[in-house]
Structure 1
């Protein structure tokens, strides 16, 4: 049983980091897109501060675009669920996953009133650009294409744009506004378009995300081989420096 759990977590994490290009257009009109991840954030906007032994990561929360996801994340934070959580790392992916119930990584916590997983909240305004904070989604069941999430999430590090990805995006007629943003900011985009809920954006500490993603990890479990945890996550508000 333990071996099966390890295999399961490997499959889950590989799925997160390898994704595939959608074989059709996004179907989103250029004029309907308002890319908000790199706009000036407002004073008092909700944020979360992640404290680690390698430094602090600050991210703004997009409650308007992903209300259920953000509300659930805040409830988990307030309960102390994320304190002293380990991370899972896929080598060379420049990203990490956290928020699992235990070190198998195969399940997360649900603090919804009905204990049901949260339906993914995707929007044409948020993408997996560098610095994006996203849920770790999974299919509701093998016979459904609906994606749901729990307490697990991942943060995209500083990933340079790929000319091959740009060519594919243009081939599949992604809106020029989105293609241009990918060229400028890079990321794990577009393999998760329409599947995974982006609910936050790192505005300070992206270099810490990069350092965490470089930690040596066990090839099977994806756990760091040196002691490292998310010490705590606290809610705050955005203040211009």
Structure 2
């Protein structure tokens, strides 16, 4: 009998330890607002973004900042240090801690379904490596898509991918193109263009068209999201509680530059 009780106690201890370790597998943060609280799980697949976010939260960096950009059926964005006690006339969205974070785009495993946390960044024209803002983030709201719309989007994204491949190849031959133009060698330009088109087609044939995974299709046709952002921005967490609060925030009245007319201030803390 005593042996049986002993084994039971050991099993309970192991069970409790496994439960505790399971809770510690991910870092959770709480974003507090006057409209309610949002609990977010940070992904381990994006350690640079996770650790940076945790550091800023522990430093109190986000406390008193605003959700300064809100677009219904798209996303809510915050994390600009310039938004702290900012006047209603001040333009926001360009502030940060003075550094960027290397992209950690884990696609298609991590994608822009409703409720995910992702890093804002500057556009490709000045940021070709898609490095993330050191502090600004957004939470996706998005739309629900039909299968037909997703298929149409796949075709559009495939065309965009094909253009990008061609442009990258052309960039590699920039000096040659400039010399051919300088020499007004139209025949040479057409020949090079045909070669680049042929290489583009080879790459596209090898890679295949853009196609959403079953997981993406399930999410985008049920809870929704912003599929056109996939593969372009680093997704590094997701809302696990308080999605209704995100919906409340996205529904507020906004003014110039999509800033809420009534300030929505945040406080962020680590859930121990």
TM-score past 0.5 threshold: yes
Instruction: Single out whichever of 52-61 and 81-90 deviates more from structure 2.
Output: 81-90
Count of aligned pairs: 188
- In structure 2, C-alpha distance between the alignment counterparts of 1:170 and 1:223, rounded to whole Å: 32
Aligned counterparts, 1:119-130, within 5 A: 119-124=102-107, 125-130=109-114
Separation in 1 of the partners of 2:259 and 2:36?
19
- TM-aligned CA deviation for residue 222 of structure 1: 2.1
For 2:244 and 2:70, how far apart are their aligned partners in 1? 17
- Looking at structure 2, the residues matched to 170 and 213 of structure 1 have their Cα atoms a distance apart, in angstroms, of 27
* Equivalent residues in 2 for 1:1-241, closer than 5 Å: 42-44=22-24, 45-62=26-43, 64-103=44-83, 104-110=91-97, 116-124=99-107, 125-139=109-123, 142=126, 145-149=128-132, 150-157=134-141, 159-169=143-153, 171=155, 172-188=210-226, 190-218=227-255, 220-230=256-266, 232-237=267-272
The Cα of 1:53 is off from its aligned counterpart by: 0.2
RMSD: 2.3
How far apart in 1 are the matches of 2:269 and 2:116?
18
What secondary structure is seen at the aligned counterpart in 1 of 2:230? coil
Of Structure 1 and Structure 2, which has the larger fraction of its residues in helix? 2
Query: Equivalents in 1 of 2:231, 2:106: separation in Å?
Result: 8
Residue 19 of structure 1 corresponds to which residue in structure 2? none
1:223 and 1:181, CA in 2 relative to 1: closer, same or farther beyond 3 A? Answer: closer
Query: Which structure's CA Rg is the greater one?
Result: 2
Name the structure 2 match of 1:32. none
TM score, norm. by length of structure 1: 0.70
Further displaced range: 145-154 or 90-99: 90-99
8 Å contact from structure 2 (residues 73, 142) kept in 1: no
Asked whether the equivalents of residues 121 and 130 of structure 2 are also in contact (C-alpha less than 8 Å), the reply is yes
Structure 1 gaps, min length 5: 1-41
Distance across 1 between alignment mates of 2:125 and 2:28: 32
The answer as to whether partners of 1:60 and 1:203 remain within 8 angstroms in 2 is: yes
CA contact (8 A) 2:118 2:237 kept: yes
What is the deviation of 1:46? 1.0
Deviation at 1:163, TM superposition (A): 4.3
